Amino acid sequence: MSTESGFVTSATELRAYAPAADLSIASPSSRDSGAQARPRTSPQHLRTEPGPVRFVIIGLAVTFLTVFVVLPLVVVFAQAFSKGVGAYFSALAEPEALSAIWLTLLVAAISVTLNLVFGVMAAWAISKFDFRGKTFLITLIDLPFSVSPVISGLVFVLLFGAQGFLGPWLQAHDIHVLFAVPGIALATIFVTFPFVARALIPLMQEQGTQEEEAAISLGASGLQTFFRVTLPNIKWGLLYGVLLCNARAMGEFGAVSVVSGHIRGETNTMPLLVEILYNEYQFVSSFAIASLLAMLALITLVVKTVLERRLDEGQVPYDH
Amino acid sequence: MGLTLTWLSVIILIPLAALFLKTFELSFDQFWGIVTSRRTLNALKISFGLSFAAALVNLVMGTIIVWALVRYRFPGRRLFDAIVDIPFALPTAVAGVALTQLFAQKGWLGAPLAELGIKVAFTPVGIFIAMVFIGIPFVVRTVQPVLIDLDPEIEEAAASLGANRWHTVFRVILPGLVPALLTGFALAFARAVGEYGSVIFIAGNLPNVSEIAPLLIVIRLSEFRYADATAIAVIMLLASFLIIFAVNRLQRWAQNRTPVH
Amino acid sequence: MTIEVKNIVKKFGTFAALDNVDLKVGNGELLALLGPSGSGKTTLLRIIAGLDWPDSGEVSIDGEDALARGASERQVGFVFQHYALFRHMTVFENVAFGLRVQPRAIRKDEATIRARVKELLDLVQLDWLASRYPSQLSGGQRQRIALARALAIEPRILLLDEPFGALDAKVRKELRQWLRSLHSEIHVTSIFVTHDQEEALEVANRVVVMDKGRIEQIGTPGEVYDSPATAFVHGFIGESIVLPVDVSGGSVRLGGRPLNIAANGAASGASKLFIRRHDMQIGPAGSGALEGAVRHVRSFGPIQRAEVTLSGEGNTVIEIDAPRDRELQAGEIVSLQPRRYRIFAAQD
């Protein structure tokens, strides 16, 4: 029974991929030497559209992606190098640029570390335990994804700003949160919180609790179980979450823009510096910084693709 | 466990609560006054209206892109599949300056468009373009897995019942994708409404004409009019809650229609 | 409507799914394609429907070249193994689909379509489910809706791929009888694919046994069961005892010892002796062709099933079914005489 359907499935796949093998219409008669009349509609065409329709659809898709996605990316590099390689590197070597790069790395390091620890904990709590308010917790974790980045920044201004709830107290104790590194880090943590947890929850739910229970029944302690059983099982998912979390942390603009105060050389991250330089018509400098961020995005995408392949392999159920 | 909840509270719950607390400092009349002021209303109209239009374009183009990526083989298919994620991955400020440069009057696309008398950068059209850019991965990545998993027997069944390709696509396949399409549309819409970085450079930011709601929040903040900023934020937050709610309902609906094998 | 399949060859890569298959199906038949997985039966069904295309060969329906038409123009009803119901449509709309997508010139008006769908839902006794969605139906109900949907286009022939494959045992049995009586009511030439011999023998009026892309035997259920044409058919249908024997000059030897049975014209050489479990006559020691010690006996219903260790044959254990007129005892030495048997040349 199961082997029978397995055979049918593989035959089905063969059929599904046959028509798509090339752009041109695979004429069935070309494969048959027979002189008899061949069908107008062959099964090669059963699951696809006539050649011209295919051509138009592919053309539209490729054109759209090229104009709206590829071109903006190309523009970044073209502008960055428009005055030559020398201008590009001297733009990056400006103290302002260096301090922005440093701040970006620092903020990303802080927020990725914290979100890694708490993301794993949140995912672990949600996927391995049942408790009241679990749905609420999931909604809470998802929330930063659906809130405008500007609002994400705003809430911290309301908390820590001069007119904010904690503002007077902070001022009295001379603690700087807003327009300083802590504020930028907080806003970034808020915005990037969901990535790690979101990457892990489905993975951990799928794996269930059996392996952990087995480990505990064999005498492992809670921490041993986590580091020797749970963690190896989720490492690729974890890496995936960290990767996306890092990309967003380094690239976040809206939320950070609201809390940073744009103090040059002090509270400007790379995206903020891109804005400032652009508004000052320093296009080469602006796009030079932008090109670094664009490279970060491209590297992230490549690694993400590799990780997704790993994750797909890891998800092959072994009990089927 | 307790630590997790504490952290979540500190990082997410308390800041959001601050937003609503701040709102309650306003009387209803004050709140209503802010929200219905001409500039606020226009900003909201621009944000929601253009987001809706951009999400519509994403719905149509996203479907076409998914179809091409899933159903056809063509040179560079894998590359284009990866490219779809760029708007997700590219920092919004970078996207913003790049789109502006591209569509500015002397830009690669702006110049030919200007010859045709079409001005994109620093107009509402620019906002629309940026929103289309930012939204496209949402539709593609939501619909793609559903189309891949579609049972080939469904199409064969339609053909054996006498349906031509047109009927099969428009009466059988696309209706089957409706939950995923609507989810992708809602996600793209929600993202566009809240989008800031990739829009503000190309927008022109003229009050009442090309000023989006998130920018108005930032402006009010820089003027230290916290109450105004908060009121607009609350309206936008409520809208995004509604959208999340709609998406969840959609997903439940889609699950109910899936046959249990 | 008749179906004629000639010299069909179909390869998936290097794997020959169908290897020169010929088949004629008469008007009003209910034919079963029976075989193990990978035997090519589903591929043959799909080729007849136009869902797959042969590499060479001919298919004609009612004397008309079917390969000149695509699946959507053949007017062939096809019931898929997993039903392939359109999940976004109600049961009613599923059944109506084939009528709604007809070319405008011959499309019926809404009232006629509604009446026809109602009629079909009555036929499969599920008219009360018209407004449900497929996900709200049981497996057996989905099966019947899929059948009603296929019948809506007034198919010239009806093809069913493993029609009961996805159902549990009890529903399976009910649906078998239902399908047979439905067929006698509507009398459409029908072919169904199954890997379940019981299903094929019980439902079909003729059975086509397939293996490795070839047709092994075509015959009525009685013929394929009682007179299997090949070793494969004998082994695949019914429970058989298989013993390796040598045939030379009309005598049959088992492990070097002559057996007291006729070769019935079997060719000389290494062969296989096939005996149905219930075709083994048990007698007192020393009276039959074979002898053995009863190892274990289980009695249920009208029979007792005995495991017998054949003496002198390397402790070969065979299972036989005997009537309960004489209760066997474990340890007892008995003789065994095949009442009916067949000898086929050993294949490899």
Instruction: Identify the band that residue A20 occupies on the pLDDT scale cut at 50, 70 and 90.
Output: very low
Contacting chains of C (3 CB pairs or more, <8 Å) are: A, B
- How far is the alpha carbon of B85 from chain C, nearest alpha carbon, in Å? 30
In C, minimum Cα distance to A4 occurs at C37
**Pick from A61, A149, A272: which is nearest to B194 by CB?**
A149
Q: What is the pLDDT of residue A139?
A: 78
pLDDT in tens, A303-320: 988 888 887 776 544 433
Residue B68 has its nearest CB partner, among A57, A73, A161, at: A57
| Chain A: residue whose CA lies nearest to C67 | A39
- Partner chains of A (3+ C-beta pairs under 8 Å): B, C
Chain B hits for A167, Cβ within 8 Å = none
Mark out the alpha helices in chain B (DSSP H runs).
Answer: 2-8, 14-24, 28-35, 38-71, 77-83, 86-89, 92-103, 110-115, 124-149, 152-160, 165-167, 174-194, 197-203, 213-222, 226-257
pLDDT 10s digits, B85-99: 999 899 999 999 999
d(CA B243, CA A167): 33
- Identify the closest residue of chain A to C167 by CA–CA distance: A1
Say what the pLDDT of residue B204 is: 84
* C152-162: pLDDT as tens digits: 999 999 999 99
Taking contacts as CB-CB distances below 8 angstroms, the residues of chain B near C135 are: 256-260
B260 touches chain C (CB under 8 A): yes
Chain segment C90-133, per-residue pLDDT in tens: 999 999 999 999 888 889 999 999 999 999 999 988 999 999 99
Contact list in C for residue B180 (CB cut-off 8 A) is none
Q: Do C53 and A1 touch (CB under 8 A)?
A: no
Task: Find, in chain B, the residue whose alpha carbon is nearest to that of C151.
Answer: B161
Q: Which residues of C touch B (CB under 8 A)?
A: 49-51, 70-78, 80-82, 84-89, 97-98, 100-102, 133-135, 142, 149-150, 152-153, 166
What pLDDT is recorded for position C165?
80
Largest CA distance in chain A: 95
| C-chain residue closest to B156, CA distance | C51
Q: Tell me whether A253 touches chain B (CB under 8 Å).
A: yes
pLDDT, residue A211, reads 84
- Give the 3-state secondary structure of chain A: CHHHHHHHHHHHHHHHHCHHHCCCCCCHHHHCCCCCCCCCCCHHHCCCCCHHHHHHHHHHHHHHHHHHHHHHHHHHHHHHCCCHHHHHHHHHCCHHHHHHHHHHHHHHHHHHHHHHHHHHHHHHHHHHCCCCCHHHHHHHHHHHHHCCHHHHHHHHHHHHCCCCCCHHHHHHCCCCCCCCHHHHHHHHHHHHHHHHHHHHHHHHHHHCCHHHHHHHHCCCCHHHHHHHHHHHHHHHHHHHHHHHHHHHHHHCCHHHHHHHCCCCCCCCCHHHHHHHHHHCCCHHHHHHHHHHHHHHHHHHHHHHHHHHHHHHHHCCCCCC
pTM of the model: 0.84
Shortest Cα distance, chain B CAs vs residue C117, angstroms: 14
For A10, the closest chain C residue by CA position comes to: C12
Q: Measuring CA to CA, how many Å separate C47 from each of A294, B26, B78, C17? A: 52, 74, 33, 11
Write the ipTM: 0.90
In which residue ranges of chain C is pLDDT below 70? 313-314, 348
Tens-place pLDDT, residues A25-71: 333 333 333 333 344 444 455 777 888 899 999 999 999 999 999 99
Token pair for A178: 């807003």
- Between A282 and B245, name the one with better pLDDT: A282
pLDDT in tens, B103-143: 998 889 999 999 998 898 899 999 999 999 999 999 999 99
Q: Which residues of C touch A1 (CB under 8 A)?
A: 165, 195
Which pLDDT score is estimated for A317?
42
Q: Which residues of C touch A36 (CB under 8 A)?
A: 58, 65, 67
State the pLDDT confidence band at A144, using cuts at 50, 70 and 90: confident
